[in-house]
Amino acid sequence: MTGADRSDATARDGHGGEHESAIVTRHLTKRYGKARGITDVDLVVKRGEIFGFVGPNGAGKSTTIRCLLGLIRPTSGSASIFGLDSMRDRVRILENVGYLPSEVFYYEGMRARDLLAYAASFYHRDCSARIIELAQRLDLNLDQKIEDMSLGNRKKVGIVQGLLHSPKLVILDEPTSGLDPLAQRAFFDLIREENREHGVTVLFSSHILSEVQRMCDRVAIIREGRIVAVKDVAELRRSSVKRVSLVLGGCGARADGDDGTRSVGVPGASRDEHADAVSARIEEMLSGLPGVRSLTVGDSSSEDVSFLFEGDCNALLDTLAGLDLADVSITEPTLEEVFMHYYQPDASGESESSGVASDADVSTAPRGKRD
């Protein structure tokens, strides 16, 4: 199928107000007994975009994907792909979706060529030329048995299986695990080409922020089963979260007296003991300030202090006035730092704790069969 054919097919199957959306979830919730999988997940992925879905292991990424594909039934809420209900219209949906799970399992005794031909038979079309093309792009030996393959080559088989039927939507769950750097580059080039030349929509689930920053237009961040942000990748880096770096002067933390000139330390203490006391005092001052996260205070061999901050700038300046500073810099954070900002608790509070069902605890589809 050509890119034009796929674009025409995409234009024909829109439904109502969701015509421009490839994926829509509304209050999607999945519970596992007392443990919570995902709660009220609302997502809209536009047709033709590469959409990042990020979070650490157990955050709910794979559970969301399995609900989308109808592999597990949600407790409540809804999910649709190209306007089709993920449970009711599952068979029709899978005709136009390619899926690469985080772990791939196949019949060990089969050659890659035979396994992929078997997978292609479910789509009732001749995919042999496409299989050969994809295998060449990824440097995959189609005549090798699965049992003799490395983890990376098994992952390549999974990539070919996910793309062999020229899907309109590709869902990738931790796609680069097991791939060496050369294979990763070939994979990224292939996905970009599918997106740019054929208009394929991509849902890219990963915990590797550099991949998301390089590949995606927008990103959703999921934390403990809930979506905490959906933003353009560029917008995330321009957010109100800032990286603050401090270089301390000779006194470090000032005393609480009116003149503010006496250093805080232990009378008669050694230089290292004094520096440790200063570090402890600085940590105490900044930890009590709402909006401070990822606080790092140098030890006796370092004068640097750094943290992420999103809050009242006046309160921050008042706190910094209590420090003897040689230099202050406020910069844009990296995407990884922004990501951690959403995951680490406020320095002045405690982290949340709740029963969470890890994605790894949820069973997947049977081996060797796509339906």
What is the residue-averaged pLDDT of the chain?
Answer: 80
Render the burial of 296-329: b for 16+ CB within 10 Å, e for the rest: ebbeeeebebbbbbbbeeeebeeebebbbbeeee
pLDDT at 16: 40
Residues 152, 89: Cα–Cα separation, whole Å: 33
pLDDT at 295: 86
For 310-354, write each residue's pLDDT tens digit.
878 888 888 888 787 888 888 877 767 777 767 665 554 444 333
pLDDT at 347: 53
* CA angle in degrees (0–180, nearest 5) for 81-86-89: 95
Q: Count Cβ atoms within 10 A of the Cβ of residue 168 and give its class: 0-12 exposed, 13-18 middle, 19 or more buried.
A: buried
Taken in order 78, 83, 88, 90, is the CA torsion positive or negative? negative
Sorting pLDDT into bands at 50, 70 and 90, what band is 156? very high
- Comparing 45-49, 61-65, 74-78, 355-359, which segment has the lowest mean pLDDT? 355-359
pLDDT at 303: 58
pLDDT at 207: 81
What's the whole-number mean pLDDT along residues 228-250?
A: 80
- Comparing 42-56, 167-181, 261-275, which segment has the lowest mean pLDDT? 261-275
What's the whole-number mean pLDDT along residues 100-107?
A: 90
Residues 191, 18: Cα–Cα separation, whole Å: 24
Q: Does the pLDDT at position 285 exceed 90?
A: no
- Comparing 27-31, 94-98, 110-114, 256-260, which segment has the lowest mean pLDDT? 256-260
For 242-265, write each residue's pLDDT tens digit.
888 888 776 555 444 444 433 444
pLDDT at 19: 62
Task: Tell me phi and psi for residue 280, to 5 degrees.
Answer: -65, -40
- Under 8 Å between Cβ of 166 and 1: yes
Nearest Cα to Cα of residue 252 among 262, 243, 267, 242: 262
Structure tokens at 77: 């809420």
Q: Hey, what long-range contacts does 68-76 have (CB within 8 A, 24 or more apart)?
A: 68/23, 68/25, 68/171, 69/93, 69/94, 69/97, 69/99, 69/171, 70/94, 71/364, 71/365, 72/30, 72/362, 74/28, 74/29, 74/30, 75/29, 75/30, 75/31, 76/27, 76/28, 76/29
- Model pTM greater than 0.75? no
Sorting pLDDT into bands at 50, 70 and 90, what band is 272? low
pLDDT at 299: 59
Q: Does the pLDDT at position 297 exceed 90?
A: no
Give the chain's domains with CATH numbers.
3-238 (3.40.50.300), 242-332 (3.30.70.100)
What's the whole-number mean pLDDT along residues 98-125?
A: 93
- Under 8 Å between Cβ of 123 and 165: yes
The fraction of the chain above a pLDDT of 90, given in percent, is 47
pLDDT at 246: 87
Sorting pLDDT into bands at 50, 70 and 90, what band is 58? confident
Beta strand 21-32 with 76-81 is: antiparallel
* CA angle in degrees (0–180, nearest 5) for 317-319-322: 110
Q: Does the pLDDT at position 126 exceed 70?
A: yes
pLDDT at 364: 31
In single-letter form, the type of residue at position 103 comes to E
Give the best-scoring range by mean pLDDT among 102-106, 151-155, 228-232, 238-242: 151-155
What's the whole-number mean pLDDT along residues 257-275?
A: 49
Instruction: Strand 242-253: give its sheet, edge to edge.
Output: 292-297, 304-309, 242-253, 323-331
SS3 156: helix
Q: Does the pLDDT at position 309 exceed 70?
A: yes
**Whole-number CA gyration radius for the chain:** 25
- Residue with the bigger pLDDT between 174 and 266: it is 174
What's the whole-number mean pLDDT along residues 176-181?
A: 92
Q: Does the pLDDT at position 356 exceed 50?
A: no
Q: Does the pLDDT at position 368 exceed 60?
A: no
Sorting pLDDT into bands at 50, 70 and 90, what band is 371? very low
